[in-house]
Amino acid sequence: MITPQKMFKGFFYTLGTGYAARLCSVGLTVLINRQLETSVFADVFLGVTVFTRLSCLREFGLVHALLHFQDRVEEFVGTHFALNACITLLSCLLTSGIVLALTLLFPADFSWTFAQVAWVLAALHFVRQLSLTSEALLRMDFEFGRLSLLHGLGTLLALSSALLAAHAGWEEWSLILGGWTTYSVLSVVYVLFFSTATWCSRPLRRASLHFDWVWARRLLGYGVWIWIGWVLQIFIWWYDKLVVRLVVGDTALAFYETAWWLVQIPTAVIAHIILNYSGALYSRYRHERERLGELFSKMISLVLRVSAPVSLILVFNAREVTALLGGQWAGSARIVVWLAAYALLRPLLSDGFSLLWAVGATRRSACIVGMQGAVALFAVPALAVLWGAEGVAYSMGAVAGVGFLGLCVGLHAYVRVNWFKVLAAPAVGLLAAAVCGWLYDRWALDYAVGDFVLRSGIMALAYGIVLGILERRTIVEELGHLRRIMRGSEEEE
């Protein structure tokens, strides 16, 4: 039985395990970066970029489709599994063919190492997707504590393997074995561990594995607009990196990608939770619009209040953070600052799209991403030519801003959100934290670790004090409400 207690426990398990794994992965990635030269990442990252761009061809939102039609899941679970396996297989074969063509036609730009990386990733992707139906069923049952534990363990095992392999001299192949940064989820170790554990946690009954053409058309009809939106979203995520490589150069790409990883540290876990937890939550209450609006307002308020101050602190400590990676990565510090706008808006975008998918408004979500893609198509190369990597970072902030405005308009038909209440208090708190961070520079110790700790503490304290003053009553009420739910004194309405 899915109770409010189980929902909240799943959320907190996901949050705690996710951030713990993220902190450990940051430390392991720092060690991996110290073991490998920046040139080692070039072919591997290009292979990851091209593979990720092409793998979006299989993304028909089948997880979200299962959640959307969860009341009749027993009717189509076998269709869901077979449809996903067939789509993934076709996508992997198409990806492998395109990679081969790129390598043969443009050998100066695409090496055989790049091709081997992409082919290995395609094979791993197929293995990973075979457990997708089981994972979706676990999400439907709010087994997020188990999923987050598996994800955290898989990440740590993968990155530890990569570090040992890098130390042993495997170079590029150490990154394929265990990955680096958030790309560990594409690695050999992670895929084999997570897929096996997920399948064992929720195996599919043989009796349910039948194919229904009616449900196949229904699932594809729901997911085709998610597919269009996902293709455009992957284009947005990776187009800037390809432009940096082609317009600015390989070294700039290494710096840009490292900065991209750093700015997502505060928000990646939140975004991961949103795409998993809140999607299941919104799907469960998709027919209760008043309650759905209340849940969305609370969720997006929580996301903003947690992720925004951490992102701001990271921006102010960009030089100190990149210093931990080693002197060769100092060029990433300025790019971290330039990507600040995108870092702040990314989790809000994820939450908005989760709600649109939950209520079945997949066409509307695709239109919003289409507007973002149109802006990126012209703005990214134009600003790259004018200002290099700095211009690309600014253009990504503009793309995120267009998406956020589109979501504010698109969500109005489904939920009522008091945006002033959501944004006002954290905006004042962020302003106070920014002023404190700016003033600290006048008395900085010029010692990276010390400055990072002191500046972060001062900024966090300023933000917390302002937020506490402005929202004291709301915080007390919400904590009391949460305490009653966790004690089981309230029943799900």
- Boundary of a domain, candidates 211, 242, 264: 211
Residue 337 covered by a domain: no
Number of H helices, E strands in the chain: 21, 0
Q: Which two tokens stand for residue 303?
A: 């996301």
pLDDT class of 158 with cuts at 50, 70, 90? very high
Residue 455 covered by a domain: yes
Please state, in angstroms and as integers, the Cα–Cα distance from residue 31 to each residue in 26, 28, 46, 188, 383, following that order.
9, 5, 22, 19, 34
Lowest mean pLDDT among 13-17, 208-212, 438-442: 13-17
Domain count of the fold of the chain: 2
Residue 88 covered by a domain: yes
Residue 488 covered by a domain: yes
Residue 289 covered by a domain: no
| Rounded distance between C-alpha atoms, residue 36 and residue 38, angstroms | 7
Q: What is the pLDDT of residue 39?
A: 72
**Positive or negative, the Cα torsion across 439, 441, 442, 446?**
positive
- The percentage of residues in the chain with a pLDDT greater than 70, rounded to a whole number, is 90
Residue 400 covered by a domain: no
- Boundary of a domain, candidates 211, 246, 262: 211
Residue 481 covered by a domain: yes
- DSSP, res 446: S
CB-side neighbour CA atoms (13 Å) of 125 = 29
| Rounded distance between C-alpha atoms, residue 220 and residue 61, angstroms | 9
Residue 14 covered by a domain: yes
Which range of residues forms the domain containing residue 493?
A: 425-493
For 439-460, what is the mean pLDDT?
A: 87
Q: What is the pLDDT of residue 213?
A: 92
pTM score of the predicted model:
0.74
Using the predicted structure, report yes or no on whether residue 375 has a pLDDT greater than 90: yes
- Boundary of a domain, candidates 163, 189, 211: 211
